[in-house]
Amino acid sequence: MPRRNSSVVGREFGIGVRHAIEQTKMTHREIARMLDWDESKLSDLVRGKGGVSESEVLQLLAFCRVPPAEVRRLLALFRETRETGYLQIPADGVPDLVRSLVEQERLANVITVWSMNLIPGRLQTVDYMRAVVEGSARSKSVDYEEVIAAKIKRRELFHWSREFVFYIHEQALRLPVGSPDVMKDQLIHLLAMAQRSYVAVRIVPISIGAHAGLGGSFMHLGYEKFEPVVYLEGENSSLFLEDKGSLATYAEVLRLLDRQALDAEQSKELINSILI
């Protein structure tokens, strides 16, 4: 199937439009007819492909009776849809970053993660998550229980129809996060997840020294219908990279990590050796 011309910010905009349409309890066909639009035009808009003017976006949002604050947010997204990256610094804090990531992950069929210091979020136990929060810089404006709940929700995306590859540095396995019991449970959970046929856990051993992932942790999202995306996460911001240069650079990092990491069975043996 050919890839659609759609960006992350375009898809984020499309999700907002879809929610606005759902509030009307009307079908796309009914709305298109009442606006005198071709139905495919509305369909493309919801899929983040664009093809409309700002005045037409306003016409649709007014028809759907979207609140002013949400209109301003969606217009800001619409104006960014031609960019080749998407920097998000939400006013409401970290939970919004997690929710945005989940929306993009739902569309991906191959998710590849490189984590240098911590067990990847999708593979963390709840106790490990809480220990990470307790040891981190905290913002008074963020409800961290909501952050944890949003991260737990990401587990719903584990499914045999997707492929997951996790490259993890050995130091992430050995870094004490929480009590010894928390770490033990975390490593046992990691081994259990590695048994799933659609989940590959590959450990980059400390013994090799310098490695391809020294630039920092990231996630690579591969799609059937869209171009791939690289996701970077900060303390209170996130960045989706879509330009060809960045994608080529991170693809090379993953290629080298694949060579430097232990294979799946060796990785399980290393995790077991730490548990003993």
DSSP annotation string for 194-217: HTSTTEEEEEE-GGG-S-TTTT--
Q: Using 50, 70 and 90 to split pLDDT, how confident is the model at 233? A: confident
Looking from the CA of 274 toward its CB, the CA atoms found within 13 Å total 23
Report CA torsion sign: 132, 118, 9, 160.
Answer: negative
**How do residues 59-84 score in pLDDT, each as one tens digit?**
888 899 988 888 888 887 777 765 55
Q: What is the pLDDT of residue 4?
A: 44
Q: What is the mean pLDDT of residues 220-244?
A: 85
What is the arrangement of strands in the sheet containing 238-241, beginning at the earlier edge strand? 85-88, 238-241, 229-233, 218-222, 110-115, 163-169, 199-204
Whether 157 and 105 have beta carbons less than 8 Å apart is answered as yes
Share of the chain above pLDDT 90, in %: 44
Cα–Cα distance for residue pair 182/193, rounded to 1 Å: 16
Whether 104 and 233 have beta carbons less than 8 Å apart is answered as no
- Please give the helix or strand (H or E) that residue 28 lies within, else none: helix 28-35
Structural domains in the chain?
A: 8-82 (1.10.260.40), 86-275 (3.30.870)
Structure tokens given for 98: 């997690």
Q: What is the pLDDT of residue 1?
A: 30
Phi-psi map region of 219: left, alpha, beta (phi>0 left; psi -120 to 50 alpha): beta
Cα–Cα distance for residue pair 222/220, rounded to 1 Å: 7
Q: What is the pLDDT of residue 44?
A: 78
Q: What is the mean pLDDT of residues 5-27?
A: 82
Is it the case that residue 3 has pLDDT exceeding 50? Answer: no
Closest CA to 231 of 35, 11, 4: 11
Cα–Cα distance for residue pair 231/114, rounded to 1 Å: 11
Q: What is the mean pLDDT of residues 112-132?
A: 94
Q: What is the pLDDT of residue 163?
A: 96
Q: Using 50, 70 and 90 to split pLDDT, how confident is the model at 141? A: low
Q: What is the pLDDT of residue 93?
A: 54
